[in-house]
Structure 1
Amino acid sequence: MSLMGLDIGTSGSKCTLFNEAGNAIAFAYQDYPIIHSHSGYAELNPNEVWQAVQKVIYQVTRDYQGAPIQALSISSFGESAVPVGVNGEVLGNSILYTDSRGQLEAKRLQVNLGGEQIMALTGIPVHPMYTINKIMWIKEHQPEIYLKTWKFMLFGDFIAYQLTGIAMIDYSLASRTMAMNITQKAWEPAIMEAAGIDSHLFSELVPSGHIIGTVSKKIAATIGLSPKTLVVAGGHDQACAALGAGVLQAGQAIDGIGTVECIVPTFKQPVLNKSMLQHNFNCAPHTLPNHYLTYAFNFTGGSLLKWYVECYGQIEAAEARRRGISVYDIFNELAGTDPTELLVIPHFAGSGTPFMNPAAKGMIYGLSFETTPAHIYRGLLEGITYEMLYNLECLELAGIKVDTLKAVGGGAKSELWMQMKADIMGRKVETLAISEAGTMGTAILAGIASGVYPSYETAVEQLVKVKRTYYPNPKITEIYQANYARYKKLSSLVREGL
């Protein structure tokens, strides 16, 4: 039998079909536009997203002649809600987490309840991006939509509803609303009362791996699935990726290195202390039962390298075209093995955790006439990694220790960067023999719910394989420790307004 994983992103949706051994046997992707109707606005048309999902499922099933597709599960980005009417109709666009609306509403909740109480209840540091603030804005500014809304669904439960007609949302995705009690796994009355929102406007809460239902006959006929195919509650994209990378134990973390870099460790009890709040770390349910996660991230991961290569790497790009390889491979060859003296503050798109400052600016310090393009490229890699090391140190202050990083995403393909990570962070770094950790996580959830795998541990042992392990070089680590101390000092000066 086969298992299907759906990944709903802000710019496109993916569908991957796996066999029981965890091998991807079919894949499809369909993008859709982000709508910017006014300055500061960022929206998605939910109907376009649903059409894209139907298309990728059909593309995967159209030519598939293998074993029956037993179950599917859904990974999705968080925060953005779809207003759905009583007959299942979409009432308006979904406000994305990057949209500027919700700032006044977040301040109102902060004043009424206090940041510490909101963190203790929801595991979320107050921020305008979360769902509850956007719904408060809709209630005040778009009452014609709010009054007709039966449910505000995030995209994970919205797609599951379209497939089954049943409105259920998993704990990990629901935590992105800033309205779910993190310990009780229930919609939080204090938040709802302060926001003036009825909890019945959200879907029913269920754990990841819960069988929501089967694909409706009407939909099954149009997308090539059987009406017997199970639809299983998935999770927030980062939580699904952590499961897909085999992050099952304390001390482990997935390091997703794409446009943004995000480190996601797991732990067994909710961590809701002042250090978590001070450093803007959330606490969310894992897709793994009785485990929790937090997200440490930097907005400029691969995007910083892309910027540099596109703006200043024309010679290297020409050489890459001549040799038929990636321009990043050229820079990796030229970057050498010795640490640079450059210090790069990678806040070229504001700063992520632990500062969460959208006005933060980047810096390249230490340039001289001897500096080459390859030096700068390596310096960018070092700066991104210093920033993530600082995040790991802040996590440790909160009581969350990370010993092993499981690297996935485009950046994990760089042997140069992976060894550098091990050297700078003084930790073991593993790359994995999977391309899509998120859809692998949904396949594990679907497989356990349908009885393909007896346990999470068995599924991970069978499906998640380490490709290569990188260990710190003590001599190089010593050099980087000195450079990192300089980095922290410079970063502090920049934050103070140097």
Structure 2
Amino acid sequence: MSLLGVDVGTSGCKSVVFSETGTILASAYQEYDFQAAQPGWAELDSNEVWENIQQTIHAAASQTTSDPIKAVCASSCGEAVVPVSEDRQILGASLLNFDVRGLDYVNELRHKFDAETFYQVNGNTIGNNYTLPKLLWIRDHQPELYARTYKFLHWGSFVPFMLGSEPSIDFSLANRSLLFDLERETWSETIAQQTDIDLTKLPVTVPSGTVIGAVDSKIARQLGLPPNIPIVAGAHDQCSNAVGCGVIKEGFAMYGMGTFICIVPVFHQRKDPQLMLERGLNTEHHAAPGAYVSFIYNDGGSLVKWFRDTFARLDKQRAQQEGYEVYDHLFAEMPERQSKVMVLPHFSVTGPPQFLTDSCGLMAGLKLETSRGEILKGIIEGATFYIKECVNALPATGTEIQDFRAVGGGSKSDTWIQISADILGRPFIRPKITEAGALGAAIMAGAGCGIFASVQEGVAAMVQLDKAFEPDMKKHEAYQRRFEIYQKTWPLLREYLQELAAE
């Protein structure tokens, strides 16, 4: 028996079939780009992405007919939703978390809700990266679409719905909407009433790992899946990543290296709201029962992809033609020493603690002899410095990190992981399977359909650790001095960069 994990991200989707011991039996991936009809807009073509998802499921399933898939589960990026009809038709595009639409509602929401009271209910600080401001924008600017929509589904609940389940959403994804009540584990009627959002347009909330339906016979034939296999509720992709690398207990943190660099520490009791708010840290249900997580993130992976597409387009084409990995080639150009290029990674909306929406990226220290590799290393260092500010603030909340588990596409690079370990001064461990989102979803599928008695048992059976990276403490000390320079950059240039971003 095998388990299918589907992982839908901002820039690509993958379907991976695993054995019960965590061996990859088949895998398929499709990359896509967001659309920007106007400056600041960022949306996915929902029909295109669904086609890509179906292609990856079919490709993976067709390779495992001798080892039938027992259950399927999906994880996804956190905030984007797809409007659908009751007969499972896609009605519109999916607005991404860094789309500026909804920004006009943020100040109104912040005036309407006291920050600490809101945090007690939802566990988040109000920002335009979440679903609620997007729904308000759709309600007011696309009223016909809002009226026609049966359900607004996050991608992790959209995939099961299109496969045949009833409209359901797990607690972790529901939390990304700003409309979820953490303690009651359901939608907040208070928040919905005060924002005039119709809760009937949202799916029912369930714990991760819950069986929510079965694959429809017709779609099963189209995709090459066994009919009527269980569909299991998944999780926010960062929670699924954490499960897929064994981060289910306190003291450990997942270090996701995908479109977003995202650190996910685990804790079993909710932390003091004031301490969390001061540091811009959220609280969300983990996919593992009885645990919570928080997110420290920025879009460092997107910056590396932007560098590839901007500075190395021909290298990318050549790598595709000749069958080698372009990132290996580009990382080999980076100097062994620290980069002399200082990068402020404000290329889009930033993560905690500041959640900046009115800044822009900066590269300083450029000279005529500056190489392409030096710029790339400066980008990676700058994105990691941004993360370091929040990591340094964690102990004051009562959260300690012993080591990081590196997963995602970027974790395939020893160089990138080592830079991260040297800057943060903590050990990193890379599991054998770095496609942790899909593996986490497969573990939840196994727990849901009864192959495993629990998510914990599934982790023990399917997650295997591989390589450890110890920080070079001499480099760490040198990075500490560089970090102090980095910390001066934003305060010195705040007004200028805000003025520049407003042009």
* TM > 0.5: yes
Distance in 2 (alpha carbons) for counterparts of 1:173 and 1:463: 23
Trace 1:371-382 onto structure 2 (pairs within 5 A).
374-382=373-381
Q: SS of the counterpart of 2:148? A: coil
Equivalent residue number for residue 173 of structure 1: 173
Give the Cα separation in 1 of the matches to 2:381 and 2:365: 13
| SS of 2:98 mapped into structure 1 | coil
Residue 213 and residue 304 in structure 1: after superposition, are their counterparts in 2 closer, same or farther (change >3 A)?
closer
Relative to structure 1, the CA distance from residue 373 to residue 119 in structure 2 (aligned partners, 3 Å threshold; closer, same or farther) is same
> Residues of 1 paired with 2:52 and 2:367: CA distance?
50
In the comparison of the two structures, how many residue pairs are matched? 497
Deviation string, structure 1 residues 115-146 (Cα, Å, up to 9, x no partner):
33222211111112322222223333333333
- Correspondence for 1:203: 203
Q: Deviations over 1:198-255 (max 9, x none)?
A: 3222111100000112112232232222223110000111111111111111121111
Residues 139 and 242 of structure 1: CA distance in aligned 2, closer, same or farther (over 3 Å): same
Instruction: State the distance in 1 between where 2:91 and 2:112 align.
Output: 30
- Identity rate of aligned residues, in percent? 37
Pairing 1:364-443 to 2, within 5 Å after superposition? 364-366=363-365, 374-443=373-442
2:66 corresponds in structure 1 to 66
Q: 1 CA distance for matches of 2:466 and 2:260? A: 22
Residue 354 (structure 1) aligns with: 353
Structure 2 residue matching 1:355: 3-state secondary structure:
coil
Taking a change above 3 Å as real, the CA distance of residues 319 and 114 of structure 1, as seen in their structure-2 partners, is same
* Residues in 2 aligned to 1:144 and 1:335: alpha-carbon distance in whole angstroms: 51
Q: CA deviation at 1:447?
A: 0.9
Q: Which secondary structure state, in structure 2, belongs to the residue aligned with residue 234 of structure 1?
A: strand
AA matched with 2:392: E
Structure-2 change in CA distance of 1:268 and 1:486 (3 Å): same
Name the aligned partner's letter for residue 141 of structure 1: H
Q: Deviations over 1:37-91 (max 9, x none)?
A: 4554443444444333333222222343322211010111222233333444444
Between 56-65 and 257-266, the greater mean CA deviation after superposition: 56-65
In the alignment, the residues of structure 2 paired with residue 491 and residue 374 of structure 1 have an alpha-carbon distance, to the nearest angstrom, of: 24
Deviations 1:418-459 (A, max 9, x none): 223222211111122113110000000011112222333332
CA distance 1:416–1:104, shift in 2 (3 Å): closer
Instruction: Please state how far the C-alpha of 1:307 moved relative to its aligned partner.
Output: 4.7
In structure 1, C-alpha distance between the alignment counterparts of 2:483 and 2:85, rounded to whole Å = 53
Q: Does the 8 Å CA contact 2:5/2:439 hold for their aligned counterparts?
A: yes
- 230-239 or 155-164: bigger deviation: 155-164
Match of 1:8 in 2: 8
- TM-aligned CA distance change 1:458 to 1:316, over 3 Å: same
Letter in 1 for 2:21: A
Q: 1:71 to 1:114 in 2, by over 3 A?
A: same
Deviations 1:250-269 (A, max 9, x none): 12111112343111111112
Provide structure 2 residue ranges, at least 5 long, that are not aligned to the other structure: 498-503
TM-align CA RMSD: 3.0
Q: Which residue of 2 aligns with 1:193?
A: 193
**Residues in 2 aligned to 1:63 and 1:326: alpha-carbon distance in whole angstroms:** 24
Amino acid at match of 1:412: S
| Residue-by-residue CA offset, 1:267-288 (whole Å, 9 max, x unaligned) | 1122352343233322111101
CA contact (8 A) 2:35 2:44 kept: yes
Tell me what 1:449 maps to. Answer: 448
Deviations 1:395-416 (A, max 9, x none): 3333332221111223323323
Determine whether 1:54 maps to 2:44. no
In the other structure, the counterpart of 2:19 is 19
Stretch of structure 1 that moved more, 241-250 or 472-481: 472-481
1:130 maps to 130
Aligned equivalents of 1:146 and 1:377: distance in 2?
42
Query: How far does residue 195 in structure 1 lie from its aligned partner after superposition?
Result: 1.0
Query: Does the 8 Å CA contact 1:113/1:194 hold for their aligned counterparts?
Result: no
Q: Provide the C-alpha distance between the structure 1 equivalents of 2:215 and 2:194, rounded to a whole number of angstroms.
A: 37
Any residues of structure 2 matched to 1:113-262 within 5 Å, and which? 113-262=113-262
| Structure 1 residues 272 and 144: alpha-carbon distance in aligned structure 2, compared to 1, 3 A threshold | farther
Q: 1:31 to 1:259 in 2, by over 3 A?
A: closer
Normalised to the residue count of structure 1, the TM-score between the two structures is: 0.89
TM-aligned CA distance change 1:3 to 1:315, over 3 Å: closer
Distance in 1 (alpha carbons) for counterparts of 2:434 and 2:231: 23
Secondary structure of the structure 1 residue equivalent to 2:105: helix
Amino acid at match of 1:360: S
Other structure's SS at 1:147 match: helix
Q: 1:47–1:265: structure 2 CA closer, same or farther, 3 Å change rule?
A: same
- Worse-matched range after superposition: 77-86 or 360-369: 360-369
Distance change in 2, residues 1:494/1:26 (3 Å): same
Superposition TM-score, scaled by structure 2 size: 0.88
Q: Does the 8 A contact of 2:422 with 2:475 survive in 1?
A: yes
| Mean Cα deviation higher: 60-69 or 431-440 | 60-69
Q: CA deviation at 1:308?
A: 4.7
CA distance in structure 2 between the partners assigned to 1:218 and 1:319 by the alignment: 41
Q: 1:139 to 1:312 in 2, by over 3 A?
A: closer
How much has 1:494 moved relative to structure 2?
Answer: 3.0
Would the alpha carbon gap of residues 84 and 430 (structure 1) be closer, same or farther in structure 2, given more than 3 Å must change? same
